[in-house]
Amino acid sequence: MLEGLVSPENLSLSYADMSVPERLKWLQQHQQQEVLSLSSNDSPDLLQILQFHGSNNDELLQSTFSHFQMVGSGFGTNYNMGFGHSHEAMDGCISRTSSCQIHPPDTMGVMLKNSEENRAISLKNKRKSEVKTREEEKTEKKIKVEAETESNISNKEASSDTSKETSKGASQIQKLDYIHVRARRGEATDRHSLAERARREKISKKMKYLQDLVPGCNTVTGKAGVLDEIINYVQSLQRQVEFLSMKLAVINPELELGVEDLSVKQFQAAYFTNFPVVIASKPSVMVDVPLFPLDQQGSLNLSVSNPNQTSIDAPSESWETQSQSLFASVLR
C-alpha cells in the first residue's frame, strides 16, 4: 500500500546533504540494526515500511520511524505534521506520497537531536574501510539490492564501490566471476588501480615463493634485494654447470675407455658382485662433495685404476642406477 507511493529516486535525490553512495552504505549497515531493534514491537505496518525503506536512501525517515516507535503511536499526528506537504495521517502509520519532501535535518532536529547527532557523527567518522570491515552475512541481501538500485542511480565512483562490496561478499554472492581484491584504506578505487593491485599482489606472491626457493633470500627485504639474490643465484648456478661440463669434457674420454675395457671383461658378474662394495663406498663420496669442486682441479685422475670405480662404470645401466641412487641421496 505504502510501498508503491514512495519512489526511491525522489527521496535519495532530494537529500542533498551527503553523497548518495555514502548514505547508502551507511544505511545498509544501520538499517539491519534498526530492523532488529524494532522487530520486537507489534507494529507490522511500520516494520514493513522500515524494511522496504531500508533499501532506499532515507536516513531521516528511518530515524523518525524509530523514534516514532519509541514514543508511541499516539504521537503520530505530530510527526506527520512535520513531515511533508501531501501526506495522509494514519493510525500508527506514516504515509508518504511520491511528492513528499523530506525536510532537512534541522527542522526535525529538535525531536531527533540525539539520534541525529549520533548518526551524523558516526557517519563522518566512518570511512569506507570500516564499512567494508563489517560482517558480511548481515548485509548480504542489502548489497544485492544496493547493487541493483545503485546501477540506476549512481555514477562511476559508486559503481566501483559496489563492485568492491560485491567482490567482498563474493563468497556468498556468486553472480560475478571477478578476481577479488580488497581495497585498503586510503587506496584508489577505480577499476584500473584495482586491476593493477591484483596484478601486483600476484607478482609479490610469486616473489615470496622464489624467496623460499633461493637460499639466503630470507634475510633480504624488498623486491629489489630479493631479485638481486635470485639473479646472482641463477648466474652462479649457470657458471657451476659450465664448470662441471668443462671438467666432464676433460675426463670423459677416460671414462669411456674404462667402460669399453670392462664391458668385455665381466659384465654381469661385476654388475652384481660389486654392487655392495660400490654402495658402501658411495657415502664417502657424497659427503665430500663441495659446492665448488675447486680442490679437485689439480687432482684429476686420468687413469681409471680403481677397480671399484671401473666396475661401476662397466655396465652403463648399473652405472646409471648408481648415479641415480647417488643423486637421490644427494637431493634428499
Contacts with other proteins by CB under 8 A lie at 199, 202-203, 206-207, 209-210, 213-214, 223-225, 227-228, 230-235, 237-242, 244-249, 251-256, 258-259, 275-276, 279, 285, 289, 293, 296, 299-301, 304, 309, 312-313, 316, 319-332
- In the bound state with other proteins, the residue whose beta carbon lies nearer, of 16 and 294, is 294
- In the bound state with other proteins, the residue whose beta carbon lies nearer, of 31 and 322, is 322
Least Å from the CB of residue 84 to other proteins: 56
Q: How far is CA 154 from CA 21, 32, 157, in A?
A: 8, 22, 8
- In the bound state with other proteins, the residue whose beta carbon lies nearer, of 41 and 316, is 316
Task: Give me the phi and psi of 91, to 5 degrees please.
Answer: -70, 115
CA 235 to chain centre: 34
Query: HSE of 16 in the Cβ direction (CA atoms, 13 Å)?
Result: 4
Residue 18 DSSP class: S
- In the bound state with other proteins, the residue whose beta carbon lies nearer, of 56 and 274, is 274
Q: Which long-range contacts (CB under 8 A, 24 or more apart) does 180-184 make?
A: 182/132, 183/128, 183/132, 184/129
Q: What is d(CA 305, CA 202) in angstroms, rounded to the nearest whole number?
A: 56
Least Å from the CB of residue 288 to other proteins: 8
Radius of gyration of the chain (CA): 39
Least Å from the CB of residue 331 to other proteins: 5
Least Å from the CB of residue 50 to other proteins: 49
Least Å from the CB of residue 203 to other proteins: 6
- Give alpha helix (H) positions in 179-220: 191-213
- In the bound state with other proteins, the residue whose beta carbon lies nearer, of 107 and 296, is 296
Q: What is d(CA 311, CA 260) in angstroms, rounded to the nearest whole number?
A: 11
Least Å from the CB of residue 31 to other proteins: 42
Residue partners of 284: CB distance under 8 A and separation at least 6: none
- In the bound state with other proteins, the residue whose beta carbon lies nearer, of 37 and 296, is 296
Pairing relationship of beta strands 89-90 and 93-94 according to DSSP bridges:
antiparallel
Q: What is d(CA 276, CA 280) in angstroms, rounded to the nearest whole number?
A: 6
- In the bound state with other proteins, the residue whose beta carbon lies nearer, of 18 and 255, is 255
Least Å from the CB of residue 199 to other proteins: 8
Q: How far apart are the first and last CA of the chain?
A: 76
